[in-house]
Every structure is written in structure tokens, then in C-alpha cells.
Amino acid sequence: MRTADLAVYLVTDPRMGLGRGLVETVRLALEAGVRTVQLRDKEASTRKLLDDASALLALCREHGATFLVNDRVDVAMAAGAGGVHLGQDDMPADAARRLLGEDAVIGVSVRTGEEARRAAEDGADYMAANLVYPTATKTDLPDPLGPEGIRELRSACDLPLVAIGGIDAGNAAEMIGAGADGLAVVSAIMAAEDPAASSARLLDAARKALAGRDS
């Protein structure tokens, strides 16, 4: 997967949106330049997930963006999504690859160097440092990793790495300086009064930090 597409990576949350609705919020983010979207809804029925996946996939195709489904390989297959994002308790990446094919994008959430190396061995395309800072959208994990956790994961393997959990434009440079290749965000876009403006600020911060790190 191109690391450029991971600069700002939107993870959806149906509880947010300030009345705009899921599709409209994602549309605004895509128009601002976001190029990876993950449908994440732990409570939706399979039918609702499939309906939302179909709508978001159409939007992502219009904007040349990658569309992924969280956890549910079956929904990704049925919708024709670009791939899946998997947790440590989900289907292993190598098994998902056999089902979804060589062209699918497969990401894995990791917290330790061992998990990062296993994700690479299983053929994942990228990994997500889960969770960097405390956030209301993820309450089932132990202590946040912080920048030091990003550095540990970066040293464990060379898969593209995104940071998730409490990420915003203000800490973008710190995350990328520690070794992240992109910023995975939920509330910074989903709950923003102006998702397009928030997406643009995040993209600007991420791109400047990446350019400074690589220069």
C-alpha cells in the first residue's frame, strides 16, 4: 500500500457526525484529500454494515481512495471492498489474504514488536499502533503506547505504520517523528464541526512532518 494514502486515514464511528450522517461526513473528508477510509461499526447488523459499505465504497471509488472494512472479512468480500483491517482477535492476515486475494489491502492492529513482526510474516500491507493516546472511541485496551511505543513498533519491522488513538493536527509531527507514516483518526474528523477543514489541517500537518522527516 502506498504510504501517501495513509497520511490521514479516516476510521468511521456511527455515533459521531453532528447530524450529518456517515456518508456526508466521509464525502467531505474525501473531498479534502483523505485517501483511506475504514468502515468501523461494532454494533451494526451485517445487513447495515453491507449497506454502509456499499455506499462508502462508491464514494471512495469516485475519489480514488482505498476503502476498508474493520474486522469483517465477509462484509468486505460481499461489498467488493479494497480490503480489511484486523485486530489481534480477528482472522489472521494470511487467512484473510487467501479469501480476499493478492490485491486486497490488509492491515493489522498491533501493540508490541512481536505482533508487528507477526503481521509482516503473515503478509499484512500495513500495521496500526493501537492505541497511542487515551480516547473515548477505544476503551477496551490497556495503557496507551505513546511515542515510545511508536518507536518500538517502527524498529520491529518496516511495514507502513499508522498511529491511532487521540491523534490530531497538534500531535501529528510528534507521531511521524517517532516513526509513524500516517495518522488514523476518528473523532478529529467524524466529530468535527467542519470535517473538510479538519481533514485539510490534518493532511497539511502530516505532509509537512513527513517531508521534514524524509529530507
pLDDT averaged over 10-residue windows placed end to end, the chain, 215 residues:
88 89 97 98 96 98 98 98 97 98 97 98 97 75 88 97 96 96 97 97 97 87
Answer whether 160's CB lies under 8 Å from 126's CB: yes
Query: In the prediction, which pLDDT does 44 show?
Result: 96
Q: Catalytic: which of 20, 54, 117, 138?
A: 138
Query: In the prediction, which pLDDT does 93 show?
Result: 98
109 catalytic? Reply is yes
CATH class (in words) of the domain with range 3-214: alpha beta
The gap from C-alpha 9 to its chain's centroid, in whole angstroms, comes to 5
Q: What is the dihedral of CA 1, 65, 140, 77, to 10 degrees?
A: -80
Around Cβ 53, how many Cβ atoms within 10 Å? 23
138 catalytic? Reply is yes
pTM of the entire predicted model: 0.95
Distance in angstroms (rounded) separating the CA atoms of residues 76 and 38: 11
Answer whether 42's CB lies under 8 Å from 53's CB: no
Query: In the prediction, which pLDDT does 134 show?
Result: 82
Query: In the prediction, which pLDDT does 138 show?
Result: 59
Query: In the prediction, which pLDDT does 140 show?
Result: 62
48 catalytic? Reply is no
Query: In the prediction, which pLDDT does 141 show?
Result: 59
Q: Catalytic: which of 97, 109, 198, 199?
A: 109
**Model confidence pLDDT, tens digit, residues 135-167:** 766 556 568 999 999 999 999 999 999 999 999
Task: Report H helices in 106-164.
Answer: 113-121, 146-156
User: Of how many residues is the chain composed?
Assistant: 215
